[in-house]
Structure 1
């Protein structure tokens, strides 16, 4: 058996069992991919894929075990390559961050600026999506780390580390009646149309849960993935906005007023997620340290090795 066979098996699954597409992705021929997979099956003595005629349709039970082993082997190969690059050029390379819009727009700019000043030779890329999408980007190897809220903590194959806490705030136009409230309540908020995040983003689950506990059914007029969109429609007077506290800036958002809502919706934690067993370049550790000064390389390595699985802020 050889690495080419492992790559072919993995890519066949990634391409939804389409060997033609797998061959294109690996810059080889479809017959070559098919032949290599059959030879691997013969050597192992088991069928990796179920077939209908000459077409593969899915994984057999032993095939799923084979794929799991292949993924581990290929990850170790990638780690070996990274180690070589690390010692050849520790201050250059590529680094891809998968994150949600809110984190990219409000939490990362200063961190990215500091990082690029320290590592000008590192090619930095940002990929955006919802928490599930950014987790998948790390699992598939398209990103080195993911940054999102608690939603990424339960993803198998990832190690997540808490970075910082934040709370939701309510935003309204100047002179809005809610500004007269001495202690904002969910009942007061629910009296107005709401504009807030899509259900997949930025702590929306906690917002919904808080209203449900009070047996309230707010009128959610508009859902968005972008706090700037939410603020725009609040400025137009269409409703009351609920956004992440980091997304409000009194100087920038002069046409809005902010009301604290942490006592209503609780505290949220943004977390960085890494693929289990992944080899991290030294500048990845530096980036995480810039993002969360409470973290350091030793602590990150301990969490990655399972020594501090319960680490929390």
Structure 2
């Protein structure tokens, strides 16, 4: 048994059981991958994959157990490599963050700026997607960290930490009738066409739930993943917008007015997600501390070790 065999098994699953694509991803030959997997199966005495002819189609029951062990072993190997790199160079390396557009556009710029000032030799990359996509990026080691709302809180294989709280606001053009209301209601909002986030983004589930429990069916005219797009169409007078409060700036958005809507849609919590059991470079701890001043390395290590009960905002 060797590490190449374990890598081949893991990559075959990641490539949807396509050995040709697995070989390409690992810069080797397809016959070599197939032979190594067969040799591993013979050594273990079980079939890892189900087959149709020469093609693999899926995992057998023992194959699923083998894959779990392979993932743990490869995670430990990756951790050993990172340990060596960190002690060889404490303040250099690469750091990939997967996040949503709202976080990347409005919440992260000052944090990223402060981080890059402190660690100028670190190559930082930002990947964007919806919460499900960015969680997968971390699970597949394509990113070191994910940042999104509560949607990533209960993903198997991830450990999450609360960052900060925020609320939605309703955005309208100046002189809009809703500005005359002392305390805006869902019933008032529902009388206008609605422009808000796509269902996978930025607390949209809470928006939908708030209307549903009041038996209201708002006319959702337009859905977008980007608050700037939402604000553009609100400025055109096409409807009422609902966006994250962090996405509104009085100086920048002079053609709009914001109405607090926390009493309608509740409080949202943005979270950092890390792969369970992963080894964190020192500067990753520093980034989390910049993002969440109430956190420190000791608390983060306790959460990563499984002590998660007492770390909510």
Scaled by the length of structure 2, the TM-score of the pair is 0.99
**Which residues in structure 2 correspond to 1:185-264 (within 5 Å)?**
185-264=185-264
Q: How many residue pairs end up in the alignment? A: 313
Aligned CA RMSD, in angstroms, stands at: 0.6
Cα shift readout 1:61-108 (whole Å, capped 9, x = no counterpart) = 000000010000000000000000000001000000000000000000
Distance 1:44 1:271 in 2: 41
Match status 1:171 vs 2:209: no
Distance 2:109 2:164 in 1: 15
Give the C-alpha shift of residue 147 in structure 1.
Answer: 0.1
Distance 1:36 1:170 in 2: 58
Matched with 1:22 is 22
Please state whether the residue corresponding to 2:216 is helix, strand or coil. coil
Distance 1:131 1:277 in 2: 21
Please state whether the residue corresponding to 1:223 is helix, strand or coil. strand
Distance 2:106 2:283 in 1: 22
Runs of 4+ more than 4 Å apart: none
Distance 1:170 1:148 in 2: 21
Matched with 1:11 is 11
Match status 1:41 vs 2:41: yes
Give the C-alpha shift of residue 310 in structure 1.
Answer: 4.3
Give the C-alpha shift of residue 309 in structure 1.
Answer: 3.4
Distance 2:61 2:201 in 1: 35
Matched with 2:277 is 277
Task: Give structure 2 stretches of 5+ with no counterpart.
Answer: none
Please state whether the residue corresponding to 2:126 is helix, strand or coil. strand
Task: Give structure 1 stretches of 5+ with no counterpart.
Answer: none
Distance 1:221 1:28 in 2: 50
**Which residues in structure 2 correspond to 1:55-204 (within 5 Å)?**
55-204=55-204
Scaled by the length of structure 1, the TM-score of the pair is 0.99
Distance 1:254 1:50 in 2: 61
Distance 1:118 1:71 in 2: 33
Distance 1:225 1:105 in 2: 12
Please state whether the residue corresponding to 1:278 is helix, strand or coil. coil
Distance 2:23 2:191 in 1: 58
Distance 2:121 2:217 in 1: 52
Distance 2:10 2:48 in 1: 11
Please state whether the residue corresponding to 1:154 is helix, strand or coil. coil
Distance 1:185 1:202 in 2: 21
Distance 1:218 1:211 in 2: 8
Distance 1:200 1:206 in 2: 11
Distance 2:36 2:308 in 1: 42
Distance 2:74 2:194 in 1: 47
Please state whether the residue corresponding to 1:47 is helix, strand or coil. coil
Deviates more, 1:195-204 or 1:23-32: 23-32
Cα shift readout 1:103-153 (whole Å, capped 9, x = no counterpart) = 000000000000000000000000000000000000000000000000001
Distance 2:309 2:66 in 1: 28
Please state whether the residue corresponding to 1:191 is helix, strand or coil. coil
Matched with 1:293 is 293
